[in-house]
């Protein structure tokens, strides 16, 4: 009984710690534009270190300020691909397809799309 009580209190403390840590990160976060940092460069660094969630957040915040930023969208596609988020990847790929269909980057987008969503006709060659 004592072990169960110790386990429960340990679990509660760990849960509280992670909840407070999450809340602290959310509260102190400022957008790249507020910090005067290039969002694509920051996202590239996050992706290089495997911090995909942070890269996605930075790029999505950047796109709120400038929704037509094609380089940010392409980098976000790379982040979605790394995170294996096929639904978000397909949606964003449909959005950028008219702008990049004749460029070399579309081949990469199409290749990654075939791996994430092989059933999607957008990525057929």
DSSP string, 90-102: HHHHHHHHHHHTT
Give the torsion through C-alpha atoms of 60, 66, 67, 69, to 10 deg: -90
Residues in the chain: 125
Task: Select the more confidently predicted residue: 72 or 17.
Answer: 72
Q: Determine the Cα–Cα distance for residues 116 and 112; give it in Å rounded to an integer.
A: 6
Q: Which helix (H) or strand (E) holds 26?
A: helix 2-28
> For residue 32, is pLDDT > 90?
no
> For residue 23, is pLDDT > 80?
no
State residue 6's pLDDT score: 74
CATH class of 38-123: mainly alpha
Model confidence pLDDT, tens digit, residues 52-99: 999 999 999 999 988 999 999 999 999 999 999 999 999 999 999 999
> For residue 21, is pLDDT > 90?
no
């Amino acid at each position: 009984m004592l072990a169960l009580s110790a386990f429960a209190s340990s679990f509660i403390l760990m849960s509280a710690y992670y909840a407070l840590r999450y809340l602290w990160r959310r509260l102190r976060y400022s957008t790249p534009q507020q910090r005067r940092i290039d969002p694509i460069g920051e996202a590239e660094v996050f992706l290089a270190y495997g911090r995909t969630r942070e890269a996605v957040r930075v790029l999505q915040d950047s796109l709120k300020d400038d929704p037509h930023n094609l380089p940010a969208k392409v980098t976000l596609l790379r982040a979605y691909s790394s995170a294996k988020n096929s639904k978000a990847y397909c949606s964003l790929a449909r959005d950028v397809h008219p702008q990049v269909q004749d460029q070399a980057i579309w081949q990469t987008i199409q290749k990654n799309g075939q791996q994430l969503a092989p059933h999607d006709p957008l990525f057929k060659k």
